[in-house]
Structure 1
Amino acid sequence: MKLIYGTGNPGKFSMMKEALKELDVELLSLRDLPAVQEEPEETGRTPLENARQKAEFYYSIFKMPVFSCDSGMYIEGLPEEEQPGVHVRNVGGRRLSDAEMTAYYAGIAHRLGGRCMAEYRNAICLILDENRRYEHYGPDISGVRFYLVDKPVQQKEEGFPLDPISVDVDNGKYFTQLEGQQSIFEKSEGIVRFFRNALGI
């Protein structure tokens, strides 16, 4: 079955393709389809609301099975009003570049003593047709807890601007030094289970 992943981020698409390789689905990226001029709105207050908005947007255009994901980042020690949540890339009313994003969150880590605990909370919305929709927002598809630090290393892959300041809690390695990325953004077992249940495969 053909399935569109509604994301413009090539890094996230590659990661999802790897996570779903054992399933009998042909994952399509937005680059495989006719160009879409508009961008979906992301005005939700939670990752699930944003995932739903994006999936509905792409389904309305392509009229074929599509899913979208969204994440919120939460940092221990940061006041509630400063939590990035679903606005990880948008700060002070403007969208940050990769370099600006790395610098901004390195600054937060510096403010919190050079290192702070963080986690992504992820959601997914899958629309198969007008009558079948599946959604999930839970820890089984969310990222592991990790440290944000104030000393960046060189970025390895475009689209993951926080990897140069993200450190694995267990082994102390920067995310840029890790082989796989499933554990960073999404736990692949939970994602695979979601699709198996939704698609009946």
Structure 2
Amino acid sequence: MKVLYGTQNQGKLNGMREWLKDSDLDLEIIGLNDLNLPIPQVDESGSNPLENAIIKAKTYYQEYKMPVFSCDSGLFFEGLEGSLQPGTHVRRVNGKELSDEEMTEYYGNLASQYENGLIGKYQNAICFILSDDKIVSSMDESLNGKRFKLTSKPHPKRVQGFPIDPISLDLETNQYVYDLSKKEEDESKIPKGFIDFFKSILEE
């Protein structure tokens, strides 16, 4: 089945293709840029990741009339005061949309203000639309990312679309995410809950 992943982020698209490759799911994942069609603007005005995922999926389904899924995330740090929590606006700081490099610098500087670093976790949501009468969405805890530690000293490696990874440490080993084995790195980025979500829909 050909399915549209509602994103223009090539890094996320490549990651999703890689993560699903060994899942035994018969899915061909394409991204918005692969369509070579105008891409509608999406008003991500939801109050949480689930609402934003639904807004995006419905917008793209109405535009392209093909199976589509959209994801959204909120980033939350333990012990960080509410006004500083990124939440669903990870890229938007003081009204400005940050580039990848600006994000790495901003969150690295934020971590430097805390002696033991910051412990964070992504709250993830997904909405999958197969047809007009088949819409499934979830923000189950099984979709949430692993807790990780933010550091002020960035790793030299960069992957476009993942600007917080260079300053992310695995809590168990205190290693940079990029210094983990391929399997460990994949597991740190996409929870098994996403695979289970796709299977529950496609096996019905």
TM-score by length of 2: 0.92
Residue from 45, 48, 64 that aligns with 1:46:
48
Deviation string, structure 1 residues 135-187 (Cα, Å, up to 9, x no partner): 01022111100000111121331111011110001111112223254333321
Cα distance between partner residues in 1 of 2:15 and 2:186: 7
Cα offset, 1:19, TM superposition: 2.0
Cα distance between partner residues in 2 of 1:155 and 1:91: 24
Determine the structure 2 residue equivalent to 1:10.
10
The 8 Å contact of residues 166 and 175 in structure 1, kept in 2 or not, is answered as yes
Determine the structure 1 residue equivalent to 2:139.
137
Cα distance between partner residues in 2 of 1:149 and 1:164: 9
The 8 Å contact of residues 142 and 185 in structure 1, kept in 2 or not, is answered as no
Determine the structure 2 residue equivalent to 1:76.
78
Q: Unaligned stretches of 5+ in structure 1?
A: none
State, as a whole percentage, how many aligned pairs show the same letter: 43
Change (3 A) 1:17 1:121: same
State the superposition RMSD in angstroms: 1.4
The 8 Å contact of residues 119 and 146 in structure 1, kept in 2 or not, is answered as yes
The 8 Å contact of residues 77 and 112 in structure 1, kept in 2 or not, is answered as no
Determine the structure 2 residue equivalent to 1:120.
122
Aligned length: 200
Amino acid at match of 2:198: F
- 1:29-44 mapped onto 2 (5 Å cutoff): 29-44=31-46
Determine the structure 2 residue equivalent to 1:57.
59
Determine the structure 1 residue equivalent to 2:188.
184
1:173 and 2:175 correspond: yes
Cα distance between partner residues in 1 of 2:88 and 2:190: 15
Cα distance between partner residues in 2 of 1:37 and 1:23: 27
Residue from 194, 199, 203 that aligns with 1:200:
203
Q: Unaligned stretches of 5+ in structure 2?
A: none
Change (3 A) 1:86 1:103: same
The 8 Å contact of residues 117 and 146 in structure 1, kept in 2 or not, is answered as yes
Cα offset, 1:30, TM superposition: 1.4
Cα distance between partner residues in 2 of 1:162 and 1:100: 10
Cα distance between partner residues in 2 of 1:182 and 1:123: 18
Determine the structure 2 residue equivalent to 1:147.
149
The 8 Å contact of residues 106 and 150 in structure 1, kept in 2 or not, is answered as yes
Amino acid at match of 2:17: K
Runs of 4+ aligned structure 1 residues displaced above 6 Å come to none
